[in-house]
Amino acid sequence: MPADGLKVAVRIRPLGAHETGDSSVQVVSQRCLRTTAPASSLVARLSKQGRIIKDYAFSNVLDEAAGQADVFNICVEPMMPSFLNGSSCLLFAYG
């Protein structure tokens, strides 16, 4: 595992059947995620700029098509050699 150690990955879930409209989240690249506040949101209505767009950087961005095996291969498998050689590793998953 690289010396920097800390990595943060995000996996975008598909919209559910009860969710309508376009997603306010889009994958820009394997390391960048873009959010757009919906026009109906409070932050957009209070903003003088209208819709607010923000980009966020991550170690890895997995899109809606990513499955559990993809998450393992990209996020967990690279830690395994260090873990098996006695290093401490932490994987925190939410959602």
Give how far the C-alpha of residue 58 lies from the chain's centroid of Cα atoms, to the nearest Å.
Answer: 7
In the structure encoding, which two tokens stand for residue 29, read together? 């690249």
pTM of the full predicted structure?
Answer: 0.76
Q: What is the pLDDT of residue 89?
A: 86
Cα separation, 72 vs 70, in Å, equals 5
Q: What is the pLDDT of residue 80?
A: 92
Q: What is the pLDDT of residue 21?
A: 67
| Cα Dmax for the chain | 54
Convert the pLDDT of each residue in 1-51 to its tens digit.
445 678 999 999 887 778 766 678 889 999 999 988 877 777 777 777 767
Q: What is the pLDDT of residue 93?
A: 86
